[in-house]
Amino acid sequence: MTGQQDTADLLRDLAPRALGAVVRRYGHFADAEDAVQEALLAAATTWPADGMPGNPLAWLIRVASRKMADQYRSDEARRRREELAASWSLVPAEPVPAHDDTLTLMLMCCHPALSPGAAIPLTLRAVGGLTTREIAAAFLVPEATMAQRISRAKAKVRGFDEPFTLPPPGGGGERLRSVLHVLYLIFNEGYAASDGPDLTRTDLSGEAVRLARGVHAALPQDAEVTGLLALMLLTDARRPARTGPGGELVPLEAQDRARWDRQLITEGLTLLTGALRQGEPGEYQLLAAIAALHDQAASHANTDWPRILALYNRLEAMTGNPMVALNRAVAMAMAQGPDAGLALLDGLAGQLGDHHRLHSVRAHLLEQAGDTGGAIAEFEAAAARTTNLRERDYLVTKAARLAAGPRASQLEPFDRPRCQAE
Amino acid sequence: MRYMILQNYGATGSDCPPMSQWSPADIKAHIEFQQALNAELLDRGELVDAQGLAGPEQAKFVISDGSSAPVITDGPFPESKELLAGYRIVDVESDERAVEIAARISAAPGLDGRPIRQPTEVRAVMSAPDPEV
């Protein structure tokens, strides 16, 4: 059993390196990706039984190359077979990959022309080494559907027709941003879905962290990459405390801070400190700085709200994102009282319209301000609009407790709006 | 984002008569339309599930207070128009795409190949994570 797990972990580390080597040699990213996936499956079944080959990476590259050649033996692929045969003259006898192509692969899989819905599964498979079945299970869709999604994404990549190399220095800014965005989405997907230990579902947050570590290893000097990794670690550190025994949401203010993962917090803080030293912080560093202030606070009340507010001010000026503005209103309420927060919310209705989060934040602030009737109505409005089941459970419970009167709401002494993606 | 797209036996916008009055060719065209749509949704990586439900004649209503024997009512039901005929669950990139699929379903071919214009319900499935914050 341990042997299988070791093999699986090793294979997922080797996957992008094998793929990079095969693409470098033969081109044809989409076909190479299929071939490497087949080689990974072959390894997963034969290695635990027959023992690990002496050079596992070379084994994968060799098997994938053979699979690729097999693919091209079909008649309809004659043209590509000829291209491949031509390129074979360049192949060294024994593959010795000199490059770690993880970043190049990621730039390709997260190409800005791909929608996140296409880029996410492609990245998880090509770079993360997950199988289609595992990705399908993580997103709760049938395997055939996920297979189609990946194959359509690859068909698009095929059309890019660009060299398999890193963009020139300074020319990859937008491409890198899109990689970070995709990783952040994968992390959030896992974070929103995780409801306790579920061994049958791939841990997407953990996978996003692993991939972000890979990008950080390739670009240790990029402060935003470091910032994103720090943000993930500082957020993930709270995971053990953010769900109750029944899988219910535990908002930040009610979490048992003793259950936060100190090791992750320490690592995140170290990374963040290094990144912030490099100058003007970007979006992910600012978000990480906010997460860090929460993680370092002894209690919710003792959180450094004025500094969090200042960070949200900068973040909002930088992004113009109305969700950031919403969090800023929460910080404002904590720093200067609920009325100040409510005043900020009034200006957001134009942008956020009827979004459930606007109702939810207003509900919490009205409750803080002592307007129980208004808070109940807003909690109910938010509950009717959310598409997250656990969030709805939380919101209807809040409304019911307030409606039941002061004695019932004392059962939960930590009432406060949720900040961030808690 | 995940949506359930539901069709019931309710009145259609085209006063389409029930399927029992269609020609075999009309029925064949209707079934082929549904199959082709499912194949297309699968091909696009959007299909999660698609099921037709057995007719209202086989439906049962069950009411229970949790302690005494449940009350079970068998069909046929005079108000069978309220009943669900079938559903699809799709995982799509936008609300607009779900509506687009529902519009296709609503325009399925009926008598003489005319669109039946069936009212089709689009519901977001809970537990989708929030759009990015």
Q: B133 — contact with chain A (CB < 8 Å)?
A: yes
Q: A354 — contact with chain B (CB < 8 Å)?
A: no
Beta-carbon separation of B132 and A185 below 8 A = yes
Q: Residue A275, exposed/middle/buried by CB under 10 A (0-12, 13-18, 19+)? A: buried
Tell me if A282 sits within 8 A of A227, measured CB to CB: yes
Predicted ipTM > 0.90: no
Closest CA to A242 of A205, A195, A274, A289: A195
Q: B124 — contact with chain A (CB < 8 Å)?
A: yes
What is the identity of the amino acid at A370? G
Q: B49 — contact with chain A (CB < 8 Å)?
A: yes
Complete DSSP assignment for B10-51: PPPTT-PPPGGGS-HHHHHHHHHHHHHHHHHHHHTT-EEEEE
Q: Which residues of B touch A421 (CB under 8 A)?
A: 130, 133
CB atoms within 10 A of CB A35: 28
B 3-32: CB under 8 A from A: none
Q: Which residues of B touch A144 (CB under 8 A)?
A: 42
Q: Which residues of B touch A393 (CB under 8 A)?
A: none
Q: A201 — contact with chain B (CB < 8 Å)?
A: no
Distance CA A284, CA A227 (A): 5
**Minimum-distance CB partner of A387 among B42, B44, B124:** B124
Q: How far is B47 from chain A (nearest CA, A)?
A: 6
Q: Are strands B71-74 and B60-63 parallel, antiparallel or unpaired?
A: antiparallel
Question: Which residue of chain A has the CA closest to B41?
Answer: A145
**Minimum-distance CB partner of B42 among A148, A191, A388:** A148
- Identify the three-state secondary structure at position A256: coil
C-alpha dihedral, A56 to A60 to A61 to A63, nearest 10° = 130
Question: Over 70: is that where the pLDDT of B13 sits?
Answer: yes
pTM of the predicted model, to two decimals? 0.83
CA geometry: angle A358, A364, A368, nearest 5 deg: 140
Q: What is the pLDDT, as a whole number, of residue B131?
A: 39
Q: Which residues of B touch A357 (CB under 8 A)?
A: 130
- Residue B9 — very low, low, confident or very high, per pLDDT cuts 50/70/90? confident
Q: What is the pLDDT, as a whole number, of residue A78?
A: 62
Per-residue pLDDT 10s for chain A (422 aa) are 447 778 888 999 899 999 999 988 888 888 899 999 999 999 999 998 888 999 999 999 999 999 888 877 765 556 665 565 555 444 444 455 556 788 899 999 999 899 999 999 999 999 999 999 989 988 888 999 999 999 999 999 888 767 777 776 666 788 899 999 999 999 988 876 654 445 456 688 999 999 999 999 999 999 999 999 999 999 999 988 988 887 777 888 899 999 999 999 999 999 999 999 998 999 999 999 999 999 999 999 899 999 999 999 999 999 998 889 999 999 999 999 999 999 999 989 888 888 899 999 999 999 999 999 999 999 999 999 988 777 888 899 899 999 987 655 444 444 443 444 33
Q: What is the pLDDT, as a whole number, of residue A92?
A: 46
Q: Give the residue-averaged pLDDT of B70-87.
A: 81
Q: What is the pLDDT, as a whole number, of residue A419?
A: 40
Beta-carbon separation of A148 and B44 below 8 A = yes
Half-sphere exposure of A93 (CA within 13 A, CB side): 0
Q: A420 — contact with chain B (CB < 8 Å)?
A: yes
**Minimum-distance CB partner of B129 among A117, A142, A188:** A188
Q: Which residues of A touch B124 (CB under 8 A)?
A: 387
Q: How far is A58 from chain B (nearest CA, A)?
A: 34
Q: What is the pLDDT, as a whole number, of residue A407?
A: 58
Place of tokens 């965005």: A181
Q: B128 — contact with chain A (CB < 8 Å)?
A: yes
Q: How far is A307 from chain B (nearest CA, A)?
A: 20
CA geometry: angle B62, B68, B73, nearest 5 deg: 25
Q: How far is A141 from chain B (nearest CA, A)?
A: 5
